[in-house]
């Protein structure tokens, strides 16, 4: 998911989508799960030169990605749609004085209990041995940019440095997530559960462990048959309940959580062994996947009195 927070930030996306031919290109790529340049040009009845210009506009703003694939005639460029959703906030212009932003590195977890297949890596190397949960306690784990496990949980402390005498009005958490299959499997569902201060917020079923194309930020040294990218999920907790990507997943609200400027906040992501789909969890941070971010947290607040 691409999250556009201001209209100015989305200008290039809007320009790229402001063309009937480019919309048709996206439709064809979705229907056919990717096509090479020759196939696209033939389907659209345009020249390869004209197609290249349209593809470049879609690629530059991240809607389409291009990979090279081998064929009997050498390498061909295959085009694929790179996004599952585009979320545009029209009313994002808010007073920053009432917003607290923080970002938690993937390796800065405070507690864990994980089971193989599992592992961690920085942007340059694996940490220890894969499928050995002991390395989740390795000192180098704080530099992790990706981690994965089949079942269990990982927990993070959300730094809370709100000004004194403030209450919390909304919490927004975004992270790039996917399942964890042995190797990769785009059709590998996993029920990922979310908790805040050990209160169950709800769950989301990840559709798979994606490896069909290399992640935009996944480093070149990373193994081509391992996890490549996830889906950016947006969790929002308000006084009305908890939502993922705008869809309500539970009635757990801020009123039940009872949070303010003094509160400790522990975010847990879990795949319980009794879930219907025990398909693991991969968390992508900076330098991996399709979104150059770690776990982002935004807190809206206002005076308590």
The string of pLDDT tens digits covering residues 65-113 is 888 766 655 667 789 898 777 877 776 555 557 999 999 999 999 999 9
Provide φ and ψ at 108, rounded to 5°.
-90, 45
pLDDT of 135-156, one tens digit each?
999 999 999 999 999 999 999 9
* Residues 271, 298 within the same domain: yes
Q: Is residue 15 part of a domain?
A: yes
Q: Is residue 89 part of a domain?
A: no
* Residues 145, 291 within the same domain: yes
Quick check: 183 pLDDT over 80? yes
Q: Is residue 86 part of a domain?
A: no
pLDDT of 193-234, one tens digit each?
999 999 999 999 999 999 989 898 999 999 999 999 999 999
Rounded CA separation 212/228 (Å): 8
* Residues 112, 261 within the same domain: yes
Token pair of 214 as six digits: 């290399």
Q: Which domain holds residue 236?
A: 94-303
pLDDT of 28-51, one tens digit each?
999 998 899 899 999 999 998 899
* Residues 36, 165 within the same domain: no
Last residue of a domain, one of 19, 52, 81: 81
Rounded CA separation 88/4 (Å): 5
3-state helix, strand, coil in the chain (%, to 5): 20, 40, 40
* Residues 162, 259 within the same domain: yes
Quick check: 260 pLDDT over 90? yes
CATH number, residue 231: 2.60.120
* Residues 76, 212 within the same domain: no
* Residues 50, 160 within the same domain: no
Band the pLDDT of 264: cuts 50, 70, 90.
Answer: very high
* Residues 68, 134 within the same domain: no
């Amino acid at each position: 998911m691409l999250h556009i927070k201001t209209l100015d930030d989305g200008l290039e996306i809007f320009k790229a989508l402001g063309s009937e031919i480019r919309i048709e290109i996206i439709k064809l790529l979705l229907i056919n799960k990717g096509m090479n340049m020759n196939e696209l040009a033939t389907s659209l009845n345009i020249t390869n030169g004209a197609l290249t210009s349209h593809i470049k506009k879609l690629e530059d703003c991240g809607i389409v990605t291009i990979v090279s694939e081998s064929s009997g005639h050498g390498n061909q460029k295959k085009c694929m749609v790179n996004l599952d959703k585009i979320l545009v906030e029209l009313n994002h212009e808010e007073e920053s004085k009432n917003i607290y932003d923080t970002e938690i590195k993937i390796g800065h977890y405070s507690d864990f209990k994980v089971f193989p297949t599992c592992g961690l890596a920085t942007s340059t190397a694996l940490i220890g041995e894969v499928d050995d949960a002991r390395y989740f306690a390795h000192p180098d784990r704080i530099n992790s940019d990706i981690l994965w496990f089949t079942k269990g949980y990982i927990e993070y402390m959300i730094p809370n440095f709100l000004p004194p005498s403030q209450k919390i009005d909304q919490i927004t958490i975004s992270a790039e997530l996917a399942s964890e299959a042995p190797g990769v499997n785009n059709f590998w569902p996993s029920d990922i559960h979310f908790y805040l201060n050990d209160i169950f917020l709800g769950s989301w079923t990840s559709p798979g462990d994606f490896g069909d194309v290399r992640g935009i930020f996944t480093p070149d040294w990373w193994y081509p048959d391992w996890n490549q990218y996830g889906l950016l999920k947006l969790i929002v907790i308000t006084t009305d309940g908890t939502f993922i990507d705008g869809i309500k997943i539970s009635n757990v609200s801020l009123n039940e959580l009872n949070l303010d400027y003094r509160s400790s906040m522990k975010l847990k992501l879990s795949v319980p062994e009794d879930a219907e789909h025990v398909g693991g969890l991969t968390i992508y941070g900076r330098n991996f996947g399709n979104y150059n971010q770690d776990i982002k947290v935004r807190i809206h607040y206002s005076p308590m009195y």
